Chains A and B, each alone.
Chain A
Amino acid sequence: MRVVRVLLGLAAVAAAAGCAVGSAATTVDEARALTAPLEQASSAVGTATLATELLGDGRSIAAVTDTALLDQVHVLEEAADAVATFVPADGTGAAWQADALTAVRDAQLAVADARGWANGAGADEAAVVAALDASATALDSLTATLDEVTGG
């Protein structure tokens, strides 16, 4: 009985150690962990671009575009949180994390600008769409780099 208890205790300690911060994640694991929030951010920027263009073309109303952009602000918050709380194992992971943070924060800025435009403030439509496109390109480029590592 005592042996069983000791074994159970050791198993619990091993499990807890496995959950500890700074686990020995491989480069592939790190790339995979950062890809998900980047894809989430790309999806948010894609939606924001569509909502903005629809309003610009007179095919949508300001309330719908504003709501769509607000929802994407929340999606980007989640993505930024996931990237910011990621713990890199080495210098490569830390560099990817910094690039990902920059890309997601740029996306947040572009979507916030688009929302300002939709509500009658800020730059013109062309500048807002250009910023969203640039943000989408940066996110896609980083995702492609990480996909090369994961083989995805």
Chain B
Amino acid sequence: MKRLLGVALGILTAIGGFLDIGDLVTNAVVGSRFGLSLAWVVVVGVVGICLFASMSGRVAAVSGRATFEIIRERLGPRAAGANLTASFLINLLTLTAEVGGIALALQLASSVEPRLWIPVAALALWLVVWRTKFSTMENVTGLVGLTLVVFAVAVFLLGPDWSELADQAFSPAVPAAEGHAVYWYYAIALFGAAMTPYEVFFFSSGAVEERWTVKDLAQSRLNVLVGFPFGGILSIAIAACAAIVFLPAGIEVSSLSQIVLPVALAGGKLALAVVIVGIVAATFGAALETSLSSGYTLAQFMGWSWGKFRRPAQAARFHLTMIVCILVAVGVLMTSVDPIKVTEFSVVFSAIALPLTYLPILIVANDPEYMGEHVNGKVTNALALVYLVIIVTASVAAIPLMIATGAGS
């Protein structure tokens, strides 16, 4: 019974923890401009993140070590350094976007200017990272983040024309008002939002934090293979809400305050309160994950002592890295930069850095020295190679498309 509850909790937190500010914003923007014609990208992204997250979880469970430690040992400091640089910078950009997202969500509940919330959000973030147990932190934010299921409920309450939605999703076409370049630019942004690198580092380091072993492989797979696809369904629900309410009215989403309006239209004040709580939980949870990921990646590369299972004094540089990253995020946001713009750039730059993140994981997962009998099977490798092609194509096309489309404008 206890085991079953553990599995259920793992799946529920994986669903609730799947969404972050990148998913919220990108799906709503895409829904308002393209309807569900880019829903297929979410499916492709979710399969990809399931593939690589389960791979990195397996590496951690079998070897008892996190991905970055092994990448440096297996590929040498130069290749691992390139991986670290790209991942760390993207992670910092994502952390900045998440802290901005918390502030914007709190503005929705209070009308208080986000710049006043940013230091508050950062302080709360640091306190939780410093004081709270890893499992408590992960479970609470994941479970509260589940309230975002209200987007799926809203889709039904809005009473859409289901055949039209199905037509958009299953016969995707570029809307007349949008060009092909913009369509593919947002396809890459959605793909980057679904496959954000920090999720994999967090998942692999979290496996070490929770002391997973080979015995936990089945539960790890279940968490990923059930939890993430349900998270993907919530992503599509966000896009559907925007497609139902905004697309016919010619409204383009450019702020977080617009994203909650379809939910209010469908379910009134109660649904609105629930969705605001969900957005705060999702952005706060993702900010915790990205803060920890910044500490994990640098500490694992440098060979420093790391982990929430250690007291802060025993992992001082790990904690210092997180504090510095949180302060940098606050510094950037206090310049009055629009957090939504930061989010939009973070998901595209995530897509650009994807090959540097995922290729090393694939190499390590195929190394019998670390994995023994648990190396990738033929089917996993075939699928991973297909994904590498997609990832490299998205990475190469992202910057030219960003320039050609004026970042999707």
Contact = CB atoms under 8 A, between A and B. Distances in A.
B257 A59 contact: no
A59 B265 contact: yes
Contacts of B272: 59-61, 64
Contacts of B258: 47, 68, 71
Contacts of B252: 39-40, 43
A43 B254 CA distance: 10
Interface residues of A, number: 22
B265 A54 contact: yes
B261 A47 contact: yes
Contact of B254 (A62, A64, A71): A71
A63 B250 contact: no
B251 interface: yes
A50 B109 contact: no
B111 A67 contact: yes
Contact of A63 (B109, B254, B265): B109
B251 A64 contact: no
Residue in B252, B257, B260 with the greatest tally of chain A CB atoms within 10 Å:
B257
A63 B264 CA distance: 13
A60 B264 contact: yes
A42 B250 contact: yes
Interface in A30-81: 39-40, 42-43, 46-47, 50-51, 54, 58-64, 66-68, 70-71, 75
Contacts of A62: 111
B251 A46 contact: yes
B223 to A, nearest CB: 34
A50 B244 CA distance: 13
Nearest to B109: A63
Contacts of A42: 250
A101 to B, nearest CB: 21
B381 interface: no
Interface in B217-245: 245
Contacts of A51: 257, 261
Contacts of A47: 251, 258, 261
A54 B257 contact: no
A61 B261 CA distance: 11
A54 B261 contact: yes
B264 A59 contact: yes
B283 to A, nearest CB: 15
Given A50-B265, A68-B257, 4 more contacts: A43-B251, A47-B251, A63-B111, A75-B254
Per CB-CB distance, the 8 closest pairs between chain A and chain B, nearest first, are A71-B255, A68-B257, A63-B111, A46-B251, A67-B257, A59-B268, A43-B252, A60-B264
Interface of B: 107-111, 245-246, 249-252, 254-255, 257-258, 260-261, 264-265, 268-269, 272-273, 276
